[in-house]
């Protein structure tokens, strides 16, 4: 097969490309330049896509003896991933930019361009497994490396794009194994630090990034009774479940810790309350994508769901809906028939804490990814 290997300049993507070459594929390496004003060097473990990273990717491609190119996808990245990040926070939601990057960049822009150029698949350094059943159906599964598993952020890709995706690191149980493989192959990135946090917020100051682009918008922090207990510089900088950085002027009457329980951007108000208000057992989600056949109308599936990239999965029943589920006046779940596929989740025996609109909820059966959707709202039935 002709395979386009996405090479970030890190050890994972370099080893993934090496394994694709070893498997006998005709491999071409490509580095995605996602920033319009790239830094010369990466700051330790923060950020990515610097000129230094592009150089590291080129050196790895030279060792592997494969052609190498740099593709400028910065405009597409800015218009989709960064713009979504800002608009979601401005709306009081909590987005996951890695999910959006996989959706819009790696498995849309990159994969579509690769297909147009005659490539059969794109190989990346993600930690996930693709299992092909006897009938040829491909399934997305968790990586055996539970600490690095990235199936959660890949679930958004959908079955059509999964058909043309390769994850050569799917069999590795630890990052140490990957580094050892890189060293054995003479790849200089074998000891390079992992990147983490949000790649386009290289200094890790998300609140500062938002303030610089959305401006100062002073408002009140109130408790659940409406009493003003503090102030803020922009409700968009807060997320449900947040405890630190609230800057409250006085403690709760009972002395207990307080958390953000609601972000009301319409009134530019942040609501704080006790921890128990964060526990939910019902999740209504929108923009559902199913990697296994979607359940039929009214059909419930027993599954486990996860709302954070490395969160603990909890037992639940899930079903597909023809619109976005919501909560009626009587507390029951109702479905708004807006024509956009949704997902309804009812936890069975446990609760989730601090579920915020904008997060991804991913349904699993064992290690297999069933489907994914974006949280619209969550509550305690």
pLDDT, tens digit, 9 for 90 and up, residues 32-72? 998 865 554 445 444 556 788 899 999 999 999 999 999 99
- Write down the mean pLDDT value for the chain: 90
Selecting among 48, 49, 98, 101, the annotated active-site residue is 101
Most confidently modeled of 193-202, 323-332, 333-342?
193-202
Number of other CB atoms surrounding residue 304 within 10 Å = 18
Q: CATH no. for residue 263?
A: 2.30.30.280
Q: Is the overall model pTM greater than 0.85, yes or no?
A: yes
Pairing of strands 360-365, 279-280: unpaired
Q: pLDDT category, 115, cuts 50, 70, 90?
A: very high
Q: What is the mean pLDDT of residues 315-335?
A: 77
CA separation for the pair 322, 338 (Å, rounded): 7
In the DSSP assignment, the letter for residue 251 is: -
Q: Tell me if residue 98 is catalytic.
A: no
146 and 39 part of one domain = yes
Q: Tell me if residue 101 is catalytic.
A: yes
CA separation for the pair 151, 126 (Å, rounded): 8
Residue 41 is predicted with a pLDDT of 47
How many domains does the chain fold into? 3
Q: What is the mean pLDDT of residues 168-197?
A: 92
96 and 6 part of one domain = yes
Domain range for 18 is: 2-191
155 and 227 part of one domain = no
Residue 253 is predicted with a pLDDT of 83
Name the least confident of 3-7, 29-33, 43-47, 84-88: 43-47
Q: What is the mean pLDDT of residues 323-349?
A: 76
324 and 359 part of one domain = yes
83 and 185 part of one domain = yes
The set of residues, in sequence order, having a beta carbon less than 8 Å from that of 241 and lying 6+ positions away, is 259, 260, 278, 353, 354, 355, 356
Percent share of the chain, pLDDT over 70: 92
Q: CATH no. for residue 341?
A: 2.40.30.10
Residue 267 clears pLDDT 90, i.e. is over it: yes
Looking at 117-205, list the stretches that DSSP marks H as alpha helix, in order from N- to C-terminal side. Answer: 151-154, 158-162, 175-184
Residue 46 is predicted with a pLDDT of 47
* Structural domain ending residue among the three candidates 226, 255, 277: 277
Residue 38 is predicted with a pLDDT of 54
* Structural domain ending residue among the three candidates 252, 277, 302: 277
């Amino acid at each position: 097969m002709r395979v386009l290997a996405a090479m970030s300049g890190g050890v994972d993507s370099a080893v993934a490309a090496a394994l694709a070459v070893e498997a006998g594929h005709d491999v071409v390496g490509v580095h995605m330049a996602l920033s319009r004003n790239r830094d010369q060097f990466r700051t330790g473990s923060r950020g990515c896509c610097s000129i230094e990273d592009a150089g590291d990717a080129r050196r790895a491609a030279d060792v592997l003896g494969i052609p190498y190119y740099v593709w400028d996808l910065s405009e597409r990245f800015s218009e989709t991933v960064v713009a979504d990040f800002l608009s979601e926070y401005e709306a009081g939601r909590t987005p996951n930019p890695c999910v959006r990057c996989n959706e819009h960049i790696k498995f849309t822009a990159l994969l579509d361009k690769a297909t147009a150029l005659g490539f059969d698949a794109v190989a990346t350094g993600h930690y996930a497994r693709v299992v092909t059943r006897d009938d040829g159906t491909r399934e997305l599964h968790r990586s055996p490396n539970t600490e690095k598993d990235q199936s959660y952020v890949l679930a958004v890709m959908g079955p059509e794009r999964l058909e043309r995706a390769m994850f050569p690191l799917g069999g590795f149980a630890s990052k140490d194994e990957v580094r050892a493989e890189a060293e054995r192959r003479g790849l200089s990135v074998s000891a390079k630090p992992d990147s983490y946090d949000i790649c386009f917020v290289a200094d890790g100051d998300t609140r500062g990034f938002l303030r610089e682009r959305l401006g100062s918008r002073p408002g009140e922090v109130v408790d659940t009774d409406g009493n003003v207990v503090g102030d803020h510089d922009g409700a968009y900088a807060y997320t449900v479940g947040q405890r630190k950085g609230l800057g409250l002027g006085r403690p709760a009457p009972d002395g207990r810790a307080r958390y953000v329980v609601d972000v009301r951007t319409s009134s530019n108000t942040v609501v704080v309350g006790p921890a128990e208000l964060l526990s939910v057992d019902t999740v209504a989600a929108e923009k559902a994508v199913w990697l296994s056949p979607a359940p039929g109308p009214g059909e419930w599936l027993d599954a486990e769901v996860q709302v954070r990239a490395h969160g603990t999965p909890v037992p639940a029943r899930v079903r597909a809906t023809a619109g976005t589920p919501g909560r009626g006046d009587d507390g029951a779940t109702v479905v708004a028939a807006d024509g956009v596929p949704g997902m309804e989740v009812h936890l069975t025996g446990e609760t989730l804490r601090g579920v915020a609109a904008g997060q991804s909820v991913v349904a699993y059966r064992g290690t297999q990814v069933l489907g994914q959707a974006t949280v619209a709202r969550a509550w305690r039935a």
